[in-house]
Structure 1
Amino acid sequence: MTRLRLLPWLAALGTLACDPAANRATKPDVPSSPSQPGAEWQLVWQDEFDGQAGTPPSADRWVHDVGGHGWGNEQLEFDTDRPENASLDGTGNLVITARKESYGGKSYTSARINSSGRFEQTYGRFEARLQLPVGRGIWPAFWLLGANIGEVGWPECGEIDIMEYRGQLPAITRGSLHGPGYSGGGNIGSDFAVSGGKLYEDFHIYALEWEPNRIRWLLDGITFFEVTPSKLPAGTRWVYDHPHFIILNVAVGGNYLGPPDSSTVFPQQMKVDYVRVYTRAP
């Protein structure tokens, strides 16, 4: 699927709209550098974001979603393909930067990249080591979207949010599923609150382990949420048995968390040390 085909479908999404009243799990003292996955996982795809400062993310791995139509969530930014909004920092990180500036009829800019047409996979472990931004109205996310969205639309294609975060609540991450009959504010998800620090203060590993009929979410090696078909609302379908692609973005505003206010400092950055995908070893 090319970007030109993908964008009209994504523009209509009610993606990443979560229910703040959903269950919340709390674990103390989450470590920032846990051990890597065990021998049961085999690495099949990765981006370590090594390269010169100012270099855009690899066109062999990533496509830019460009636009300022709100992405179905009333987001306030114009997402660009400029290095000012997404580029390598020269020290092994991709940096996605949200800026307060007039561009394309919007008051903010940021970036949103995806692996559609470059890499798509069914099942496995998807993980990213991230340092999050902070501030009211700042909304970073690491998520998966069904590669058949162009044929069946959203939410029938399935959406798996590995990590999303409200910048005004810097100790809480969220994982969730969006599918037919349980999407937008009616998604199936859980918040996870850490103690002893804030998620923007250091890098953390956000991971998803996806198997047939089972998906679990982890932060720094701690499983905080798991969903099986038995947890779906009555009469709805499990749609997580086909390839999904990866999305990384930083939104500004939107119906999940509201707009920035005078306390929000710009620019804000999400640093991505790596994205790695594994399959079960034979």
Structure 2
Amino acid sequence: MNKLRYFLLLLPFFAGSWGNSKPQSWKLIWEDQFNGPELDTTKWTKIPPNKADWGRHMSSDPQCYALKDGHLFLRGINNPDTLKDPRPFLTGGIYSKGKFAFQYGKIEIRAKLECAQGAWPAMWMLAEHDKYGKYPRNGEIDIMEHLNYDSIIYQTTHSWYTLELKQKNNPPHGGTAGLNIKDFNTFGLEWYPDKLVFTLNGKETFRYPRVKDVDPSQWPYDQPFYIMIDQQLGGNWVGKVDPAQLPVQMIVDWVKVYQ
């Protein structure tokens, strides 16, 4: 059998593995169970503050972080020292930028979300490199966002296509899913070359497909992305923060990535 014929025979198998059908089994390639006494800095970095709505209160202050009984606590707090730092609130968040990124596969994060007015916990992913230019050219995948005391989460994609070209319904770029906010829940994403499948507790909740005959910026999801998990506070979307309802925290049990 010549090499070309052998390749053509195998081609349907490889296409099926990452096309319309799911892999027959997932293999765990990366995880953190948060069992250590300190944050594993070979996997994570504390997110520094930035000018974005979500990041203006980000801090490395130890009061925003704790590890206990196999859980990571990311906290939003009232700033105890506004002379040292004038910001009214401080928030904790971690990302794997520069330490771990992946392209295609499955990610699941088990966590419990606490509620407060102005609380905005999020689990999301951004591109490791600027393959197509600056944000939002490389896209954003929001595995989970929660607002205030809502009984739903938001699962969304953002890109040049959705934000600048305003193509938010061709196809729909986000959905919601109901959950019991008092429980630990598993927030997930299955990522293929032709679709993003969002999940909650192992069940599909929303799907964003790659579509043909539209602007190429509709699908920047063909490159490695890194993981972000943060307890955000305040902003135009979530509204003002009630200081009397702080501290608030996201309690993360584990993060697992499969391919």
Is the TM-score greater than 0.5?
A: yes
Runs of 4+ in 1 over 4 A off after TM superposition: 184-187, 231-236
CA distance in 2, matches of 1:124, 1:232: 26
Q: Structure 1 vs Structure 2: percent identity of aligned residues?
A: 28
Report which of the two structures shows the higher radius of gyration computed on alpha carbons.
Answer: 2
Q: Which residue of 2 aligns with 1:84?
A: 63
CA distance in 1, matches of 2:131, 2:74: 26
Q: What aligned pairs does 1:58-137 form with structure 2 within 5 A after superposition? A: 58-67=40-49, 69-70=50-51, 72-73=52-53, 77=57, 79-89=58-68, 91-101=69-79, 102-103=81-82, 104-137=85-118
Deviation at 1:150, TM superposition (A): 8.4
1:36-70 Cα deviation digits (max 9, x unpaired): xx961100000000023xx2x21100112222x44
Q: Which residue of 2 aligns with 1:46?
A: 31
Deviation at 1:221, TM superposition (A): 1.3
Contact 1:64–1:111 (CA under 8 A) maintained in structure 2: yes
Deviation at 1:261, TM superposition (A): 2.9
Q: What aligned pairs does 1:137-148 form with structure 2 within 5 A after superposition? A: 137-148=118-129
Deviation at 1:239, TM superposition (A): 0.5
Q: What aligned pairs does 1:90-239 form with structure 2 within 5 A after superposition? A: 91-101=69-79, 102-103=81-82, 104-149=85-130, 152-169=133-150, 171-183=151-163, 188-194=173-179, 198-199=180-181, 201-230=182-211, 236-239=217-220
SS at match of 1:152: coil
Q: Which runs of 5+ in 1 are unaligned?
A: 1-37
Deviation at 1:189, TM superposition (A): 0.7
Contact 2:136–2:159 (CA under 8 A) maintained in structure 1: yes
SS at match of 1:210: strand
CA distance in 2, matches of 1:163, 1:191: 9
Q: Which residue of 1 aligns with 2:15?
A: none
Contact 1:75–1:255 (CA under 8 A) maintained in structure 2: no
Contact 2:124–2:229 (CA under 8 A) maintained in structure 1: yes
CA distance in 2, matches of 1:95, 1:117: 22
CA distance in 2, matches of 1:231, 1:261: 45
Contact 2:137–2:217 (CA under 8 A) maintained in structure 1: no
Q: Which residue of 2 aligns with 1:19?
A: none
CA RMSD of aligned residues (A): 2.4
Deviation at 1:186, TM superposition (A): 6.9
Deviation at 1:75, TM superposition (A): 5.7
Give the alignment partner of residue 228 of structure 2, picking from 229, 247, 250: 247
CA distance in 2, matches of 1:65, 1:75: 8
Deviation at 1:235, TM superposition (A): 6.7
Q: Which runs of 5+ in 2 are unaligned?
A: 1-22
CA distance in 2, matches of 1:266, 1:158: 32
SS at match of 1:181: helix
**How many residues were matched structurally?**
229
CA distance in 2, matches of 1:267, 1:235: 43
Deviation at 1:112, TM superposition (A): 1.9
TM-score w.r.t. the length of structure 2 is 0.81
